[in-house]
Structure 1
Amino acid sequence: MTPDQIEGAVAAGMPQAVEDLRRLVAIPSVAFPGHPEEPVYAAAALTEALLRDAGLPEVRQIPVEGSFPAVYGEAPAPPGAPTVLLYAHYDVQPAGDPALWKTPPFDPTLIDGELYGRGAADDKSGVISHVAALRAFEGRFPVGIKVIIEGQEEYAGERLEAFVERNPELLRADAIVVADTGNQRLGDPAVTTSLRGMGAFTIEVRSLHESVHSGQFGGVAPDALAALIRMLAALHDDNGDIRVPGLPRGAFLGTGPLEEDFRASAGVLDGVALVGSGSIADRLWASYAITVTGVDAPSVAHAINAVQPGARARVTVRVPPAGDPRLTVQAVCDYLRQVAPWGVQVSFSDEIYGTGFLADAGGRARAALNKAMEHAYGRTPRDIGAGGSIPLVSTLVKQFPAAEILLFGAEDDNASIHAPNERLNLEELRRTATAEALFLQRYAATALR
Structure 2
Amino acid sequence: MNAITDKLAAPGLLRFITAGSVDDGKSTLIGRLLYDSKGIFADQLAAVSRSKHKRTVGDTIDLSLLTDGLEAEREQGITIDVAYRYFATPRRKFIIADTPGHEQYTRNMVTGASTADAVVILVDVSKVKLREDGGVDLLVQTKRHSTIAHLLRIEHVIVAVNKMDLVGYDQAVYERIVKAYREFADTLGLASVTTIPLSALAGDNVVEGSENMPWYEGPTLIELLETLPVYNDAHAAPLRFPVQLVARHNGHEANDFRGYMGRIEAGRVSVGDKLLVQPSGQTATVKEIVTFDGNLQTASAGQSVTLLLEEYVDVSRGDMLVAADQPATLLKQVVADVCWMADEPLDLRRKYWIKHGTRQCAAKVTKVDTLLDVNTQERRPAEGLKLNDIARIGLTVQQPLAADAYDDIRATGAFILIDEVTHQTVAAGMIRIDG
TM range (shorter): under 0.3
Using CA pairs under 8 Å that are at least 6 residues apart, name the structure with larger relative contact order, 1 or 2.
1
TM-score by length of 2: 0.23
Q: Which has the higher helix share?
A: 1
